[in-house]
Amino acid sequence: MSIDDVPVRSMQYGASEFSSSQQNMTELLDGSFGELWVFDGQAGDRVEIIMRATSFDAYLILWFGTPFGEVIAVDDDSYAGTDALIAIQLPYTGPYVIAAAAANGPEHSGGYRISVKLLE
Q: Which residues bind Ca ion (CB under 5 A)?
A: 57-58, 76-77, 82, 103
Q: Which is nearer to Ca ion, 44 or 81 (CB)?
A: 81
| Nearest distance from C-beta of residue 51 to Ca ion, angstroms | 8
| Nearest distance from C-beta of residue 42 to Ca ion, angstroms | 28
Q: Which is nearer to Ca ion, 35 or 57 (CB)?
A: 57
Please give the distance of CA 102 from its chain centroid, rounded to a whole number. 11
| Nearest distance from C-beta of residue 43 to Ca ion, angstroms | 28
The amino acid occupying position 93 is T
Q: What is the DSSP string of 25-87?
A: -EE-TTS-EEEEEEEEE-TT-EEEEEEEESSS-EEEEEEESSTTSEEEEEESSSSSTT-EEEE
Q: Which is nearer to Ca ion, 81 or 94 (CB)?
A: 81
Q: Nearest Cα to 40, choosing from 21, 65, 57, 19? A: 65
Q: Which is nearer to Ca ion, 38 or 86 (CB)?
A: 86
| Nearest distance from C-beta of residue 11 to Ca ion, angstroms | 20
